[in-house]
Amino acid sequence: MNVPDDNAQFCPNCGATLPRVNTSTPPSPPMTTPPPAPFPTTSYSASGKATFSEAVRMRQRTDRILSPAWILIPLIGIVAAFVGILATVSLHTGFGLALPLDFVGLILEFLFWYFLISRRNNHFARDVSVRQGLIEYLGQSFAAMGRSNEISTELATMNAIHGEANAEEREKSAVLWIVLSIITLGIAGLYVLYFLTKDPYKHDRRQQSFMQQVQQGFSKLGKPVVNPSWNALPDRSYIVYLIVDIITLGLFGFYWYYVLIKDMNGHFKNQWQLEDSLLAVM
């Protein structure tokens, strides 16, 4: 029995017509380019917003609004020292009563310094996260829309202010400076009063300039921020305050302490209002 050839049209045995077998290779399907992946539906600025939101939440712990009544702490200390001196003179007790009361007075005044220095450090540390979060938010938002060039000027200015603040607003150990003030018999305390007087003004100016760039960025993003005007802190002269305090035998120091409390309270309130407005439009 003959086996038919693959290309034969008729069977060699019976002559019947054979079915045609298609041995050709079927054509490959046309190559297609896969469609682009859809843009993620999650917020493209989530990390920046999260950083900023966390910094806003932290202010309940870091930005303490102090009552002007806090100046009673050093006042009590001075009164205690004065009573000790009077008792020593009138009762002829030597230094038996004066030294303990003077010591109590110093402790109370240094306690007041400790709270002011700690408040400064805590707020400055929080503002590092505030600035970083806003820089990330605006940078990521514009980058996701392919509009990074529109925010480049604002981001450059914000990063410059951020770097300057990080360099100049470093933490100052409250314990260290109080110990140094005791060891140097108050000489180091003059520097403590200097940075407590000047740092709030410098910081307030930086933050105000930074936030102006932030507001411009949000406006370009189509999210204008409505916020009351920022009441800038006054530039208080350390030299003038020190001279007046010496002339008044320390009485001016109570007003000095008052403005140290008042200035940081005012800065906190200015910044809180703007932070709330920014968070609302994110």
- How far, in Å, CA of 220 to CA of 137, rounded? 13
Total-model pTM: 0.77
Residue the block writes with tokens 């609302």: 280
- How far, in Å, CA of 222 to CA of 123, rounded? 30
The mean of the pLDDT values for the chain is: 83
Give the per-residue pLDDT at 92: 55
- Overall average pLDDT of the 249-274 stretch: 93
pLDDT at 191 over 60: yes
Give bridge partners of residue 10 from the DSSP assignment. 17
Instruction: List for the chain the helix, strand, coil content (%; round to 5).
Output: 70, 0, 30
Contacts of 196 (CB under 8 A, 6+ apart): 113, 116, 117, 120, 260
Give the per-residue pLDDT at 34: 46
Contacts of 96 (CB under 8 A, 6+ apart): 88
Domain residue extents for the chain:
113-281
